[in-house]
Amino acid sequence: MPDDDGTITVEIFGHEYRIKGEANPEYMTQIARFVDTRMREVSKGASVGSLTKIGILAALNIADELFRERGEKQKITDDIEDATRRMRRKLEEIVP
C-alpha cells in the first residue's frame, strides 16, 4: 500500500527498498518483481556471490532485452514505412 506521499516498499532479492514515483503503485510493484525475478535467475545461473555483481548482470540482461525490443520495433516501423511508400507510389500510378 502506498504512503500518502506515493512511496511504496518493495522487496528485491531479499532486501526492502522504499521507492517513490509518479507511476501507479501496482505498476511500480510489478517492475520491482520483474527485477527481483531477473536477479534470482542470474544468481542461479552463475556462481556470483556479490549483490552488486548480481544486480549488474541482471541490469545487463534487462538492457539487452530492451535493446532487442527497440531493434524489433524499429524494423517493424521501417517495414511499415516502406510498405506505405510502395502503396503511395501505386496509388499515384492509378489515380493521376
Question: pLDDT per residue over 20-58, tens digit each?
Answer: 988 999 999 999 999 999 999 999 977 777 899 999 999
Place of cell 538492457: 63
Q: For the chain, how many structural domains are there in total?
A: 1
In a domain, 33, yes or no: yes
In a domain, 2, yes or no: no
In a domain, 28, yes or no: yes
Place of cell 496509388: 91
In a domain, 42, yes or no: yes
Tell me the pLDDT of the chain averaged across its residues: 92
In a domain, 26, yes or no: yes
Whether the pLDDT of residue 1 is over 60: the answer is: no
Strands 7-12 and 15-20: antiparallel
Confidence band for 91, pLDDT divided at 50, 70 and 90 = very high
Spatial separation of the C-alpha atoms in residues 72 and 36, rounded to whole Å: 25
**pTM (two decimals):** 0.77
pLDDT of residue 2: 59
Confidence band for 4, pLDDT divided at 50, 70 and 90 = low
Spatial separation of the C-alpha atoms in residues 35 and 38, rounded to whole Å: 5
Instruction: Please give the full DSSP string across 49-61, using - where no structure is assigned.
Output: --HHHHHHHHHHH
Alpha helices in 2-50 (DSSP H): 25-45
In a domain, 64, yes or no: yes
In a domain, 50, yes or no: yes
Work out the angle at residue 37's Cα, subtended by the Cα atoms of residues 62 and 57, and round it to the nearest 5 degrees: 45
